[in-house]
Structure 1
Amino acid sequence: MARASRPAHSRGHTAGIVGAVVGLAAAGTAVGVAVTRIAGRRVRAAELGPAADVAELTAARLREDDPLGAAARDADRTVLVAADDGVPLAVEEIGPPDAPLTVVFVHGYTLSMASWTFQRRTLAARLATGNGHRPDARLVFYDQRGHGASGRGAPERSTIDQLARDLAAVLEARVPRGPVVLVGHSMGGMTIMGLAALRPELFGAKVTAAALISTSSGQLAELDFGLPELLTRVRAAVFPVAAWTMRHRPAFAERTRRVAADVVSAATRALSFASPDVDPALVRYVDSMIAGTPVDVIAEFYPALAGLDETGSLEPLRRVPTLVLTGDKDSLIPMAHSELLLERLPQAEYVVVPDAGHMVLLEKPTVVTERIAELLRRAGATAPR
């Protein structure tokens, strides 16, 4: 017996949802709302090769494995820190607790602490030897709630204010004494701004320097992501449907992003990197981190980013050396957003990295690492060798 076909309106509804999710994948990668490769596809951070030059990655051989696995093995300590609502935050540390300076790295939307793999490896090697007696600094990395190995909270707590509270909890638990430098990429930079609003007294007292990489203080909902006007209108139309689908039908959305993997991977490459010859290993690496973020978590955090306004939170950052760094071809959070930060932080060092996109920390790791090392020197740490 021939199987009865579904009513036309049902097929149309399903096709509309599929189209919305795929559309979100293609257009929404720009702010990290990406539906990407199946979560089982993994690459090892350690197999990305040396951070001296991304070109060296061309010869790197990558296995489909856990991107956090190899990185975790070089940690001196792996601990869990409870946020103020009890959500466990995964933390990894390199260097002794009594080092004279602590550097805390805060990753971006849909990523994980593995996004800092190049900076982690190079700075750990440089700082570990210190003056021949003790390390110059301790490095602390953690996964934001709902990302990487950290736990998930209630959907209504998917806000920048809550992320700022999480960062405060990490500082209180893992850096109870001594100065700290905060380094944030994308949503991580927004988290630092949120902390400045939440705990302004920390800046200049405990927080002695900050780096804001590829980030913004607001107006993200107005971005066109470098897309033609027609695609921008399409993105605006499909976002609400796709976000609803990811929150209310996450299993369906997960299946859809597996079907759309190749399309989305192409979008990841185009919107995260600027180099025409970017190594495919880097694209797979970013894919693997995003794929490890549940689609409903992606949807829950999106309104917080779209409605962001941290412009009034920047004043405490004027008290400390601040680095503002961006790629000149960042189509996700364009350079103009960093320039706006500079208007509010006139004392900040401003670095524009040529031929770099939003994932500048992976695309041009040497430049980013050197600028962070210089910031540590400005913050009073012994110069890394």
Structure 2
Amino acid sequence: MARSEHPRARTAGIIGGLVGLVAAGTAVGVGVSRAARRRVRAAELGPAADLPRMTEAELREDDPLGAASRAPDRTALVQADDGVLLAVEEIGPRDAPLTVVFVHGYTLSMASWTFQRRSLAATLATANGHRPDARLVFYDQRGHGASGRGAPERSTIEQLAKDLAAVLEARVPRGPVVLAGHSMGGMTIMGLASLAPELFGTRISAVALVSTSSGQLADLNFGLPELLTRVRAAVFPVAAWTMRRRPAFAERTRRVMADLVSAVTRSLSFASADVDPALVNYVDAMIAGTPVDVIAEFYPALAGLDETGSLVPLRRIPTLVMTGDKDKMIPMAHSELILEQLGGVENGLTEFMVVPDAGHLVLLEKPAEVCEAITGLLRRVAAESPAGAPGH
């Protein structure tokens, strides 16, 4: 190859790596949507009452999915230990006997729980329409959604665990808690188990780990042939560097390559061949506000993840491990490994659920199954209380 062709080839490789890294992280970022324009950084956040929120209806523009979530009863800002402000939304009374905290995944936001938010808000109401049996708490992880952004070196699972601890301390100071985490959200929960194992079995009564992993993510092939996997391993580090150091170039690239990135993301995130285009557009819009440099900053933390030892505290409490059988992002084998590390279903506390014909975004692709499983977990916890089980 002539020397003059080297820059062009290198640029092509970087562009390919950007597309792959963005898509592999389900960071679709199609254009600069209203969600992206409304993204709030820490310095811009005002009082909780003035918090600009990326609601599901706004993300869907005219709500084509017909699933706009129930409006929050309260919004709040929680300050992390480094000063970053985390956006929080709550449904249900502060004095509910049980609180469920939902932790979203990489490049997504609290809006990824839209179907669970709507369904559980209704399911957890008592039969006669009086007070709900649980309070639902949703928040955006740092750098995502409407939350602030911290220093690049704090883009770690340990920091996300500290953020979750801050949310619990500020918004759930008393009473039992159930944690539900999807993908990076599940890793955040494992990070909290490493950071504060004493919480599990005391404050934290149960955990749901959805489409997540305890480690070895750098070895994933995303369903690609071996040759493409080797190419990915070579170009991703360069793409990540570009996204951190040349974010404007990377943002332009993902806008220009929007259709390709969206198609790849659809393939990686969903198993259904006939997935509703509105659902794909919803995911596209939701993550459009996640800057490419944030994606790149968190990538090393995910690639180098090893939370195997963090699962020990979860052996003391009911734990739901859930995955789609066609998850290309984090294959079912990772959930099976978590199950093994928890002692298997034989311990009487762990439940393993495989959702047929579901991909990585099982909570959006098969929402009824995910809602039913989480409700079942809540019933197990609440059945020990004289108040009775949620949904009964």
TM-score using structure 2 length: 0.87
Alpha-carbon separation, structure 1, partners of 2:127 and 2:167:
25
Which residues in structure 2 correspond to 1:38-77 (within 5 Å)? 38-40=31-33, 45-46=56-57, 62-63=60-61, 71=69, 74-77=71-74
Kept after mapping to 2: 8 A contact 1:271/1:357: yes
* 1:189 to 2:186 alignment: yes
1:36 counterpart letter in structure 2: G
**Would the aligned equivalents of 1:21 and 1:238 in 2 still touch at CA under 8 Å?**
no
- For residues 102 and 315 of structure 2, the distance between their equivalents in structure 1, rounded to whole angstroms, comes to 20
Q: What residue is the counterpart of 1:252 in the other structure?
A: 249
* Match 2:323 to one of 323, 326, 329: 326
Letter in 2 for 1:26: G
Q: Does 1:383 align with 2:380?
A: no
Shift of 1:130: 5.8
Name the amino acid aligned to 1:369.
Answer: C
- Which residue is equivalent to 2:370? 368
In 1: Cα distance, 2:194 partner to 2:300 partner: 19
Q: Which residue of 2 aligns with 1:159?
A: 156
Does structure 2 conserve the Cα–Cα contact (< 8 Å) formed by 1:224 and 1:232? yes
Aligned residue runs from structure 1 range 354-365, under 5 A = 354-365=356-367
Residue of structure 2 equivalent to 1:29 = 23
Identical aligned residues as a percent: 76
**Which stretch of the first structure deviates more once superposed, 328-337 or 8-17?**
8-17
Q: How does 1:1-385 map to 2 (within 5 A)?
A: 12-13=6-7, 16-26=10-20, 29-32=23-26, 34=27, 36-40=29-33, 45-46=56-57, 62-63=60-61, 71=69, 74-129=71-126, 132-345=129-342, 346=344, 347=347, 348-380=350-382, 382-384=389-391
Q: Report if the CA contact (8 A) 1:247-1:296 is conserved.
A: yes
Deviations 1:277-326 (CA, angstroms, capped at 9, x unpaired): 11111111111122210000000000000000000000100111000000
SS at match of 2:354: strand
Deviation digits for residues 71-119 of structure 1 (CA, Å, limit 9, x no counterpart): 5x70000110000111000000000100000000000000000000000
Q: 1:40 Cα deviation (Å)?
A: 1.3
TM-score normalised to the size of structure 1?
Answer: 0.89
Partner of 2:46: none
Task: Output the CA distance in 1 between the equivalents of 2:90 and 2:324.
Answer: 28
Amino acid of the structure 1 residue aligned with 2:391: P
CA contact (8 A) 2:28 2:265 kept: no
Most deviating of 123-132 and 175-184: 123-132
Contact 1:83 1:166 in 2 (8 A): yes
Kindly provide the amino acid, as one letter, of the partner of residue 358 in structure 1. Answer: H
C-alpha spacing 1:246/1:11, structure 2 compared with 1 (3 Å): farther
Q: Deviations over 1:249-290 (max 9, x none)?
A: 001110111000000000010000001111111111111122
Q: How many residues align?
A: 362
The alpha carbon displacement at 1:14 in A equals 5.8
C-alpha separation in 2, matches of 1:364 and 1:35? 20
- Asked whether the 8 Å contact 1:108–1:188 carries over to 2, the reply is yes
| 2:328 partner letter | S
Residue type matched to 1:37 in 2? V
Give 5+ residue unaligned stretches, structure 1: 1-7, 49-61
The answer to whether the Cα contact below 8 Å between 2:211 and 2:330 also exists between their aligned partners in 1 is yes
CA 380–44 in structure 1, closer or farther in 2 if over 3 Å, else same: closer
**DSSP 3-state at the match of 2:180:** strand
Moved over 6 A (4+): 8-11
Structure 1 contact 95–128 (Cα < 8 Å) conserved: no
Contact 1:78 1:93 (8 Å CA) reproduced = yes
Q: Report the aligned-residue RMSD.
A: 2.3
SS of residue in 1 equivalent to 2:30: coil
Alpha-carbon distance in 1 for matches of 2:159, 2:21: 27
